[in-house]
Amino acid sequence: MNLSAFNLPANLVAKADPELIQPDEVHFAMIERSLESSIAELTEQLEAERKAPGGQGQAALERDQEIHRLSARLRALRRFGLDLCLGYMITASEDADPMIDQAEPVYIGRFGLTDGSGRRLLLDWRAPAAEPFFGATHANPMGLLSRRRYRWTRGRVTDYWDEVFTPEGLKNRAALDDQSAFIASLADNRSARMRDVLGTIQADQDAIIRAGSRGALVVDGGPGTGKTVVALHRTAYLLYSDPRLEHHRGDVLFVGPHQPYLNYVADVLPSLGEEGVQTCTLRDFVPEGATAITELDPQVVALKTSAELLKAIDSAVALYERPPTEGMLLETPWADVWLSAADWAEGFDAAEPAAAHNEARDQIWDAVIRILLDKLRDAFDDWQDDVDEFDACAIASEDQESRMRRALAGNRELVRSFGKAWPLLEAAEIVGDLWSVPAYLRMSAPWLSSEQLSALRRPEGSPWTDADLPFLDAARLRLGDPEASRRRQRQAAAAEAGRNRMSEVVRDAIANDDSEMQVMSMLRGQDLRAALVDQDAVSGPDPDLLAGPFGHIVVDEAQELNDAQWQMLLQRCPSRSFTIVGDRAQARHGFAESWRQRLARLGFDRIEMASLTINYRTPEEVMIEAEPVIRSVLPDANVPHSIRSSGIPVRYGMSSELSGIMTDWLATHQEGVGCVISAQAPTGLQASERLRLLSPELVKGLEFDLVVLLEPENFGEGIEAAVDRYVAMTRATQQLVVLSAE
């Protein structure tokens, strides 16, 4: 390489000793050549796949998947350069003498990388063999002699730190400054997106990242302990290691607390090579979530956040799934047929038990039609005796059935009766009727008292609230997409029209075939004629990627979820395989139970606990002030221990100082992000890339260099206000300012 991979500052000149970094330079050169070769090879393969014929069916699907795989791999390799490498570890070989033999370093990367000869240049950080790189401690070296981690800035190493675990590790000429780069990285300026921290994952975090995925794993940790880091990297790890989960197929769902949080962490999973993970908030599960307002009535909140009331959805839908109790006589071109109540019941029994209401509707309709077809066939055969012999040969049994189906589908009385017995339903209509029609709610939830029925009633057309969203979601999953049934009907009609047109063409072709071999007669075969019809005449929209089912769900800030919201997630993950990340002390509405008690009550049967107790983010100056705030309402709060100091004491002042404080800070800090956290939007300030204006509810999971807590006395009283103040204070990574009202 013409340019050194190292760009160490003057105060780290000792670390620039060639004996310390020359082996790395050589290895980086090999990585660079391999990257260039891999990118060129993948680019050529991708171009060839795109030029290849698309094919049909399975061949087309496999081609698309290969294009997707190659494109994702190319994006991952182009995203990084040499900073693909996180560091290296030197392991004691079982048959080597550590005092004589020089152990070879194993370099750890974001992805695995080999050269043209198959030599491994980088070991994927998620591989089992890479675990000691993150998990080794002086108490448990895990077989390591030493370990080096790099600190990259704009593609070059600006610091590194070596850790030696045994006396023999000194033989590897380690630069014994084993915390400088790590501690410095904790104080780095923040940006609008979460910075990369893969190279600094600590042993307590890595152990949780690599834990198994059976059942529910609860990660409990206070502010700054890296819960979000663990949640994101565990997502990438499970996609790599768990055979139940397939890449890029929506098998893992990541749920965050709010949209600013998702924006903040948006780059993390792609930087780990995982672009197929669905990320969302609970509001994203239903279209109404985007505009839903906050429910303010405490009695309504108490009722709607209970999982018990969600049972009303199933009962409400079941009222629309009752077969007619009387038979009916249907007129057709061939004969009049009787559809009895028993026939109706038989057709309704054809619905698959797990089928959504609107999907089952098509199954029942097909079953009812089959019952009628059986009754019509004899009459149709008698009628067809009048058709001439040539046409009888040209019209196969499928044509007979299609004619009968078309006639039955056009019978208004049949269609009307079926529509009343099993109508297409919309989720918003079901939930809206529950809240606006007391008799409907009483039938669907007979356990409710008159007072509760009255509390839940709302005028028709009222705006949706956040408490309604679990009900809308439950109704959508129970009903299925009503448009799917309509699309299937349109597709069936289009395909039927195509077959009819093709039958006419075939008859004409056969009638006018004067060839000696009568080759057109082969078109009488139904399989051949069906192949001539475009089966994709009507295309459907993309599927609902958030509907599930998912093999694993990761939930961050899970302490905020109520019982009804948990049901939104449980319905999407039948295996109950979850990573649940949260802090009971940060629950705005309190969290009286233990994690085990709450999850067992919700239906989890396998629950493992893990705890994070070290605060890597918040300076001790801030935690000293924040700890009494939360302990005043939660004496047993899991308050983590801060491992660093910023040297900047917490500043207190009056709200009139806000404008001057922010102006001075932005002028003296060319990098970093500040945030003003207040109950009401402050006047005189405008949000920007480096200045955020947020409410306490929208800062969970975020972090800022400067936090200004504006008039915290306006947050209210009780546990909710105390939690809001505690959360807001602990978002600071460098400085906290608390400004009270005049």
**Residues contributing to the annotated binding site for ATP:** 221-228
Contact predicate 656/637, CB 8 Å = no
C-alpha distance from residue 156 to each of 8, 194, 399, 610, 711 (Å): 9, 20, 72, 36, 43
CB atoms under 10 Å from CB of 71, counted, come to 15
Helices (H), 242-291: 259-264, 268-271
Taking each continuous run of H as one helix and of E as one strand, the counts in the chain are: 26, 21
Q: Give all strands (DSSP E) within 488-577, no chain letters.
A: 552-555
Listing from the earlier edge strand, what are the strands of the sheet with 552-555? 278-280, 252-255, 552-555, 578-582, 216-221, 607-612
439 CB-near residues (< 8 Å, 6+ apart): none
Q: Give all strands (DSSP E) within 455-576, no chain letters.
A: 552-555
Reply yes or no: is the peptide bond before residue 549 cis, omega within 30 of 0.
Answer: yes
In terms of Cα–Cα distance, which of 191, 213, 187, 133 is closest to 165?
A: 133
CB atoms under 10 Å from CB of 261, counted, come to 21
Q: CA–CA separation, 30 vs 23, rounded Å? A: 11
Query: How does 142-162 read in b/e, with b if 16+ C-beta sit within 10 Å?
Result: bebbbbbbbbbeeebbbbbbb
710 CB-near residues (< 8 Å, 6+ apart): 655, 658, 676, 677, 678, 682, 739
Contact predicate 34/115, CB 8 Å = yes
Please give the helix or strand (H or E) that residue 378 lies within, else none. helix 357-384
Q: CA–CA separation, 253 vs 262, rounded Å? A: 13
In terms of Cα–Cα distance, which of 466, 425, 420 is closest to 589?
A: 466
Hunting for tokens 């699309």 — which residue is that?
487
Contact predicate 208/612, CB 8 Å = yes
Q: CA–CA separation, 286 vs 280, rounded Å? A: 11
Q: What is the DSSP letter of 585?
A: G
Query: How does 702-711 read in b/e, with b if 16+ C-beta sit within 10 Å?
Result: bbbbbbbbbb
Q: Which residues are annotated binding-site positions?
A: 221-228
Q: Residue 242 half-sphere exposure, CB side, CA atoms within 13 Å?
A: 21
Both tokens of 193, joined, read 């997106």
Question: Residues 73, 79, 80, CA angle at the centre, nearest 5°?
Answer: 110
For 611, the 3-state DSSP assignment is strand
Beta bridge partners of 87: 108, 149
Q: CA–CA separation, 276 vs 273, rounded Å? A: 9
Q: CA–CA separation, 704 vs 691, rounded Å? A: 9
Contact predicate 555/561, CB 8 Å = yes
Single-letter code of the amino acid located at 343: D
